[in-house]
Amino acid sequence: MLSLLTRFKYHITIVILLLWILFFAQYDVFTILDNRAELKNMDNKITYLEEEIKKIEKEKELLRTDPKEIEKQSRERYFMKKDNEDVFVYDTVLVK
Looking at residue 21, the DSSP 8-state letter turns out to be I
- Structural domain spans, the chain: 2-78
Per-residue confidence (pLDDT) for residue 48, from 0 to 100? 98
Better-predicted residue by pLDDT, 50 or 21: 50
Computed over every residue of the chain, the mean pLDDT equals 88
State the pLDDT at residue 86.
81
> How large is the average pLDDT for residues 6-18?
90
The set of residues, in sequence order, having a beta carbon less than 8 Å from that of 75 and lying 6+ positions away, is 81
Query: CA 11 → CA 4, 7, 22, distances in Å?
Result: 11, 9, 16
Mean pLDDT value of segment 21-45? 91
- Which of 9-23, 51-65, 71-85 is predicted least confidently? 71-85
Q: Which residues contact 12 (CB under 8 A, 6 or more apart)?
A: 5
Q: What is the pLDDT of residue 96?
A: 64
Higher-scoring residue by pLDDT: 96, 39: 39
